[in-house]
Amino acid sequence: MRLCVCIAGLLPVLLAVGATSSILEMTPPIRGLALANLRDTFEEVHDGHKHEAIDIVEPKGTPVRAVVSGTIRKLFLSKPGGNTIYEFDEMEVYCYYYAHLDGYVKGLREGMRVARGDVIGFVGSTGNADARTPHLHFAIFELGPERLWWKGKAVDPYPGLVAAVKRAK
């Protein structure tokens, strides 16, 4: 009985260790992204909601790349997010979310596997983004055991993006 409790207690720790892997392997979603273009707005309140994402301002049409290898789980047109992509990493531990896209790359579809660095869409201002400041709204969600694309715990992407930009140099 005591042993069972020990193993159960260890499980979240083991999961957490494995879970960090895809974030640590990220490449920047925009080629040539500079640290100066990154600002941690995760905790900011936007339109009455905690932002829980990072906005990367880029000209409309700038290619957006998959930050990790994985699967396009959902292409969703949302009122606030506009054209969005939900990408699961290989282990289905994290979901990477790209929003306000002007559009998807030709041929992109749900269930498709993508490699890190593949162009998946283009920066835009669809949804509730200001048309004068096209940007990529980028978020990371830790998926629950059910692995539902619409249900996850937001993780601040800022440290992972900073590390990715430094590695890309």
Residues near Zn ion (CB under 5 A) are 53, 55, 137
Q: Looking at beta carbons only, is 5 or 55 nearer to Zn ion?
A: 55
Return the number of the residue (55 or 89) whose C-beta is nearest Zn ion.
55
Quote the least distance from Cβ 44 to Zn ion, whole Å. 9
Where is 76: in which H helix or E strand?
A: strand 70-78
Nearer to Zn ion, 60 or 167 (CB): 60
**What is d(CA 67, CA 86) in angstroms, rounded to the nearest whole number?**
12
Say which DSSP state 58 is in: -
Q: Find the shortest distance in angstroms from Cβ 58 to Zn ion.
A: 13
Q: For residue 88, what is the enclosing H or E element?
A: strand 82-89
Q: Nearest residue to Zn ion, using CB?
A: 137
Q: Are 73 and 110 contacting, i.e. CB atoms less than 8 angstroms apart? A: yes
Q: By C-beta, is 112 or 162 nearer to Zn ion?
A: 162
Amino acid at 39: R
Nearer to Zn ion, 79 or 109 (CB): 79
Name the CA radius of gyration of the chain, rounded: 16
Buried b (16+ CB within 10 A) or exposed e, 94-118: bbbbbbbbbebbeebeeeeebebbb
Least distance (Å) from Zn ion to the CB of residue 110? 23
Minimal distance in Å, beta carbon 47 to Zn ion? 10
Question: Residue 61 CB, nearest distance to Zn ion (Å)?
Answer: 18
